[in-house]
């Protein structure tokens, strides 16, 4: 359904080491994403999924190793310099501006483009509104006063407002009701079909596997698998995640699409990444 990847590598991480203070989270991550591909990064809490994304977005500094975007070394570039290259980052917490309206949030999403091409922004924001008619209805409403699902849409809309070539999206399913999750999935599948390069982090394996064609599985700051999802079954995934047989059983037992495979039921939900 999506155009086949062209073979051009648009994101390339080589031996990336990163962390916070004395705590090293990534121990040499290698990852490459081709243009038009839809790749998911999976792993347990603390495996380094979100940190990998933040390194790619420029929000967490890389200690050693390199990051290339579109063939250019951007390792030392701050996040604001990566946006004009065509990167849009969508954090797990969404980080909308709660006391600004829908319209103002979108305007800030298109800030870089608006500086030199307001007409193009106008057509892009029209496109966003046609994808999310709900946002069009609520353009003067404050982002913080909207429902979780609407905020998820606004976050995607704000990322699209910069007309990106790569979408880095961290746990789009987090905290969403199942029905809303389906909407978000449909939207992301649509973007994938249009040829947008998507790199996704997910805890919710079943959600992620319905979207991506390739997976990178992280275990304790290292990529232990990179390849097509078609070659993976639940037992293999559980093994790669490092959760062993216990979860493998849970995985195959569960059919509900909201199951978060990486999290045994007993442990309280706590995000480390």
Partner 1 sequence: MAQALVVGLVIGGIYSLFALGIVLIYTGSGVLNFAQAELGTFTLFVAQILVVEHHLPYAVGAAASIALALAIGVTFERLAVWPLLNAPRVTVAVATLALLALAVALEITLFGPVGRNLPPPITGHSVNVIGVFVSPNQIASLVLVALVAGGLAAFFRYTDFGLSVVAAAQDQEALRFLGIPLARASMFTWGLAAVLSALAALLIQPDIGVISPGAYSGIFIRALSAALIGGLGSMRGAFLGGVIVGVGEAAIRHATVGSSLTGLPELCIFAAVVLTLVFRPQGVFGSR
Q: Which residues bind partner 1 (CB under 8 A)?
A: 57-59, 78-84, 89, 91, 95-100, 104, 107-109, 111-112, 114-115, 158, 162
- By the 10 Å C-beta count (0-12 exposed, 13-18 middle, 19+ buried), 130 is classed as exposed
On the CB side of 98, CA atoms within 13 Å amount to 7
Q: Which is nearer to partner 1, 141 or 259 (CB)?
A: 141
Q: Which is nearer to partner 1, 40 or 58 (CB)?
A: 58
- In the β-sheet with 72-73, what is the strand arrangement from edge to edge? 23-34, 9-20, 64-69, 72-73
Q: Which is nearer to partner 1, 115 or 236 (CB)?
A: 115
Q: Closest separation between CB of residue 109 and partner 1, Å?
A: 6
Asked whether 170 and 50 are in contact (CB, 8 A), the reply is yes
Q: Which is nearer to partner 1, 99 or 231 (CB)?
A: 99
Q: Which is nearer to partner 1, 84 or 227 (CB)?
A: 84
Q: Closest separation between CB of residue 122 and partner 1, Å?
A: 13
CA dihedral over 88, 90, 91, 93, signed as positive or negative = positive
Q: Closest separation between CB of residue 263 and partner 1, Å?
A: 26
Q: Closest separation between CB of residue 54 and partner 1, Å?
A: 9
Beta strand 9-20 with 222-228 is: unpaired
Report the alpha-carbon distance of residue 214 to residue 231 in Å, rounded: 10
Q: Closest separation between CB of residue 188 and partner 1, Å?
A: 19
Helix, strand, coil shares of the chain, percent, nearest 5, are: 40, 25, 35
Strands (E), the chain: 9-20, 23-34, 38-43, 64-69, 72-73, 87-90, 166-170, 197-202, 214-219, 222-228
Q: Closest separation between CB of residue 176 and partner 1, Å?
A: 20
Q: Which is nearer to partner 1, 95 or 258 (CB)?
A: 95
Count of other CB atoms within 10 angstroms of residue 162: 23
Q: Closest separation between CB of residue 177 and partner 1, Å?
A: 24
- By the 10 Å C-beta count (0-12 exposed, 13-18 middle, 19+ buried), 181 is classed as buried
Q: Which is nearer to partner 1, 35 or 82 (CB)?
A: 82
């Amino acid at each position: 359904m999506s155009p086949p990847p062209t073979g051009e590598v648009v994101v390339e991480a080589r031996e990336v080491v990163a962390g916070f203070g004395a705590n090293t989270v990534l121990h040499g991550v290698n990852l490459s994403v081709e243009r038009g591909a839809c790749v998911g990064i999976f792993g347990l809490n603390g495996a380094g999924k979100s940190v990998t994304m933040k390194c790619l977005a420029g929000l967490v500094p890389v200690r050693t190793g390199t990051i290339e975007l579109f063939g250019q070394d951007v390792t030392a570039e701050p996040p604001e310099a990566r946006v004009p290259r065509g990167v849009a980052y969508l954090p797990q917490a969404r980080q909308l501006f709660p006391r600004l309206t829908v319209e103002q949030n979108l305007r800030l999403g298109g800030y870089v483009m608006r500086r030199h091409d307001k007409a193009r922004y106008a057509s892009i924001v029209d496109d966003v509104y046609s994808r999310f008619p709900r946002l069009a209805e609520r353009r003067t409403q404050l982002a913080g006063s909207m429902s979780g699902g609407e905020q998820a849409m606004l976050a995607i809309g704000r990322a699209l407002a910069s007309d990106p070539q790569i979408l880095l999206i961290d746990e789009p399913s987090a905290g969403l009701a199942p029905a809303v999750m389906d909407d978000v999935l449909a939207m992301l599948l649509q973007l994938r079909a249009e040829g947008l390069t998507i790199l996704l982090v997910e805890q919710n394996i079943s959600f992620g596997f319905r979207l991506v064609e390739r997976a990178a599985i992280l275990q304790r700051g290292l990529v232990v698998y990179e390849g097509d999802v078609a070659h993976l079954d639940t037992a293999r995934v559980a093994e790669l995640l490092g959760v062993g047989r216990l979860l493998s059983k849970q995985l195959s037992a569960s059919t509900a699409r909201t199951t978060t495979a990486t999290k045994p039921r007993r442990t309280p939900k706590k995000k480390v990444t």
